[in-house]
Structure 1
Amino acid sequence: MTAIETPDRETDYRVPALQRGLTILGMFNARERVLGMQDMAERLGVSTSALYRIVQTLVDMGYLQKAGRNAFELGPQVIADGFAYLASRDIVEVAMPELNALRDRTSLSCHLSIREHTDSLYVYRAFAPQRLTVNIPIGTRLPCHATALGRVLLTALGEAELGQLYQHLRLDDYPPPAPRTLPELQALIAQDRERGWVLHRSDYSTAIATGIRDHAGQVVAAINLSGADAVMDGPDAQGRFLQALFQSAAAISAQLGYVPRA
């Protein structure tokens, strides 16, 4: 008795034209920004006439654009769709696993904050259950200029923007090391921006913070490591913790689409 061959259900449901169109888009990369119709056809193992309608459809939809006679490059719709997806990802969703792993590696508490006006709003924490630890609840608001996380968030602003934000606010109600005047704040934030991280001590605890960047390279959030002075003090300890903090910040930023300049 001859067995009757049944088609693979997954294969049977495929749309060859769609598969070819997506494969074409995947051919473009940093090294190959422009491809000819013949190049695409050879890689797919089909004739150029078989690809013409697919390529034309991609051009009409903005996913490809002409770069010469029978040559094409990625179109603006690819960029727009990619950035829209990245922007839709919740910062907490992206940062949570990285901060949990950072806490486990360092045994220190980690916090994530975003800026709302002149406040640093804490939106996530990875709590280290130790006797001496720093535990700031989610939803807490602290003045940006008086915290490590907040100062990092302020580095996203230029000097003029910073001046406009604080022009009607008094700063001398906060104890040192918080800046007490606007020029002092502007000078401090300029130094923080150049350094790329902030260390802040208060109430027998120390926090080090750095920024999270989006696809445009803008600082959109900040993360920190915080713990007792006895744990955080010392150049060796700070250097080790700072390296771990930078690694986590880079991983989160990469998921938001940030690509460091070469």
Structure 2
Amino acid sequence: MERKYWVPALEKANDVLMQICERPSELKLIDLSKRLEINKSSMFTLLNTMEALEWIVRENDATYSLGSKLGSWGNAFFKQFSLIDRFRKEAAVTKHVILETIQLAKLEQHDVLYLAKEEMPSPVRISSEPGMKLPAHATALGKAMLAWLDPAEFDALYPADELAPSLTPHTLRSREVLHHGLVAVREAGCAFDLEEAVMGFCCVAAPVRDGEGRVVAAISCSMFKHDWEQKRELAMNEIRALAQRLSQS
């Protein structure tokens, strides 16, 4: 791995975690200092910081074990695979109700990352595939997740008023317009894309939440514009219901 932008402090923290992982509740500060060849003063500062972050726990006998924060991270890691499995089972049923393709994605900075797709046979295939990214502001999936960001997170993602890139003539171009639209998304519990990502296609999406109510993903249904008015209410209701089933209550 390229070490040009390496952070030595993070490497040391990782080394400490690996030692504690291999021998939980056995190693004290002096043991870790000797094993990793880090002086006691630096080791004390490192351990104290990691303890405050709940990465590790100092036991009564002054040994260390892994903290609850790492446990929650581990659960989050495996839940993402569990979510995809549940999506495939649930969406395989819902797609036959709507008769349209359903997709699952998560937010990565300004983009949505497609994770899975349950596809209905169609003469025109939806181009988005697992692993593909699209700008969040141009998609219903993105708006369904952006709507629940903290204001500070939203401002950090979109510091400038102009949004880019524009995928179609209908793509939102202003942060102010996007922000106003996200209020409506929160009220409705779902988001729309009216030819904003692909000309000729409309889409509805709803957020998927974890056990603590945080939005961790979104699901969507896309269809031809000429089917939109006929199927809009059905798709909206089914996608919101599917998102609710996939969310961790």
> How many residue pairs end up in the alignment?
174
Q: Distance in 1 between matches of 2:143 and 2:211?
A: 21
Q: What is the aligned partner in structure 2 of residue 146 from structure 1?
A: 138
Q: 1:169 to 1:113 in 2, by over 3 A?
A: farther
The alignment partner of 1:233 has SS state of helix
2:88 is the counterpart of 1:88: no
Bigger drift between 88-97 and 161-170 goes to 161-170
Contact 1:106 1:241 in 2 (8 A): yes
Aligned to 1:200, which of 190, 193, 198?
193
* CA-atom RMSD in angstroms: 2.5
Q: Distance in 2 between matches of 1:152 and 1:127?
A: 21
Q: Distance in 2 between matches of 1:243 and 1:173?
A: 30
Q: What is the aligned partner in structure 2 of residue 124 from structure 1?
A: 116
In the TM superposition, 1:103-118 aligns within 5 A as 103-118=95-110
Contact 1:134 1:228 in 2 (8 A): no
Q: Distance in 2 between matches of 1:242 and 1:145?
A: 19
Q: What is the aligned partner in structure 1 of residue 218 from structure 2?
A: 222
The alignment partner of 2:102 has SS state of strand
Q: 1:227 to 1:190 in 2, by over 3 A?
A: same
The structural deviation recorded for 1:84 is 6.9
Amino acid at match of 1:158: D
Aligned to 2:171, which of 148, 173, 178?
178
Q: What is the aligned partner in structure 2 of residue 210 from structure 1?
A: 206
Q: What is the aligned partner in structure 2 of residue 164 from structure 1?
A: 156
Contact 1:109 1:133 in 2 (8 A): no
Q: Distance in 2 between matches of 1:214 and 1:115?
A: 14
Contact 2:135 2:165 in 1 (8 A): no
Instruction: Return the TM-score normalized by structure 2.
Output: 0.63
Q: 1:132 to 1:193 in 2, by over 3 A?
A: same
Contact 1:134 1:205 in 2 (8 A): no
Q: Distance in 1 between matches of 2:237 and 2:150?
A: 27
Contact 1:197 1:208 in 2 (8 A): yes
In the TM superposition, 1:232-251 aligns within 5 A as 232-234=228-230, 237-251=231-245
Contact 2:98 2:234 in 1 (8 A): no
The structural deviation recorded for 1:94 is 2.2
The structural deviation recorded for 1:118 is 0.6
Contact 1:109 1:126 in 2 (8 A): yes
Instruction: Return the TM-score normalized by structure 1.
Output: 0.60
The structural deviation recorded for 1:185 is 2.1
Q: Distance in 2 between matches of 1:132 and 1:208?
A: 18
Q: What is the percent sequence identity of the aligned residues?
A: 24
Q: What is the aligned partner in structure 2 of residue 59 from structure 1?
A: none
Per-residue Cα deviation, 1:148-185 (whole angstroms, up to 9, x for no partner): 11111111202232111111584154244333222222
Which ranges in structure 2 are unaligned for 5 or more consecutive residues?
1-70
The alignment partner of 2:93 has SS state of helix
The alignment partner of 2:192 has SS state of strand
The alignment partner of 2:204 has SS state of strand
Q: Distance in 2 between matches of 1:185 and 1:230?
A: 25
The structural deviation recorded for 1:86 is 7.2
Contact 1:166 1:182 in 2 (8 A): yes
The alignment partner of 2:234 has SS state of helix
